[in-house]
Amino acid sequence: MPGLWRKIRKTGRVAEPAPARVPAEVPAAAAELAGSIQIRHVDAGSCNGCEVEIGSVFGPVYDGERYGVRLVASPRHADALLVTGPVTRNMEVALRRTFEAVSEPRLVVALGDCARGCGVFAGAYGVVGAVGDVVPVDVEVAGCPPEPTAIVAALRGLTGR
């Protein structure tokens, strides 16, 4: 325990200064949530590249939580789904059910090129389609994988902070 306290004191604050927000219109459903959005992440068939970047977003350097977004453990607790990867056959039903389980108003963020248009997996036999083919998508983030700054910017677009 003293070691932990010492480490905390020595490390100090490593979060980068918050960049200025790009002014943009907040979607109507997100505006109703008033700047606090709980996110459930769903891996619909990702290669885990996007997951690594999500990990960075909620790590100490990019510190996504200071903008009012938070990762939660169940869609029952969530306002938005953060979906990565092309939707594989095995995950199609699970994704639909997860979407059903989120209370309204609800949002879907398609993260990465695979989620937006199947990326390199387009036309593969195990792939049903992009996230937009299965559930309605509100926000898309481009990149393979998208950089943490891009993810943070997209999430700030939802919270408006």
Partner 1 sequence: MSLVGWLFAAALALCALAAIGGLVWPRSWVAGAGTVAAGLAAATAGVASVVGSRWSAWLPDVLPLAGVRLSIDPLAGLFMAVTGGVSVCVAVYGIGYARTPGHRLDSRGVQAAVPLFVGAMVLVPAAASVSTLLLAWELMALTSLLLVLAEHRRRAEVGRAGLWYAVMTHLGFAAILAGLALFAAGAAGESFDQLRAAELPPGLRNAVFVVTLAGFTSKAGIVPLHVWLPRAHPEAPSHVSALMSAAMVNMGCYGIVRVGLDLLGGGPAWWWLVVLAAGALSALYGILQAVVTSDLKRLLAYSTTENMGLVLVGVGAAGFFAASRAPALAGLALTAALLHVVNHAGFKTLLFLAAGSVLRATGARDLDALGGLRARMPHTTVLFAIGALCASALPPGNAFVSEWLLLQSLIRVSPLSGVAGAVTMPLAVAVIALSAGLAVATFVKAFGVGFLARPRGVGAERATESPPSMLAGMGLAAVACLALAVVPALALPAVGSAAAVAFPQTPPGLVSGAVTLALAGVRGVLSPLLIAGSLVVALVAVLGTVRLLAARRARRVARLWDCGAGPMSARMEYTATSFAEPLQRVFDDVLAPETDVDVTPARESAYLVERVAFHARVPDRVERRLYAPLLAAVDGVGRSVRGLANGSVHRYLAYGFYALIGMLVVLAVLR
Binding residues vs partner 1 (CB under 8 A): 74-76, 93-95, 97-98, 100-101, 104
- Give the Cα separation of 85 and 114 in Å (integer): 5
Q: Is the Cβ of residue 94 or residue 153 nearer to partner 1 in the bound state?
A: 94
Q: What is the closest distance, in whole angstroms, from the C-beta atom of residue 154 to partner 1 in the complex?
A: 24
Q: Is the Cβ of residue 71 or residue 101 nearer to partner 1 in the bound state?
A: 101
Q: Is the Cβ of residue 105 or residue 117 nearer to partner 1 in the bound state?
A: 105
Q: Are 111 and 87 in contact, with CB atoms under 8 Å apart?
A: no
Q: What is the closest distance, in whole angstroms, from the C-beta atom of residue 86 to partner 1 in the complex?
A: 17
Q: What is the closest distance, in whole angstroms, from the C-beta atom of residue 138 to partner 1 in the complex?
A: 19
Burial of 95 (0-12, 13-18, 19+ CB in 10 A): buried
- Three-state DSSP state, 69: strand
Q: Is the Cβ of residue 33 or residue 95 nearer to partner 1 in the bound state?
A: 95
Q: Are 77 and 40 in contact, with CB atoms under 8 Å apart?
A: yes
Q: What is the closest distance, in whole angstroms, from the C-beta atom of residue 64 to partner 1 in the complex?
A: 24
Encoding tokens for residue 56? Answer: 């960075």
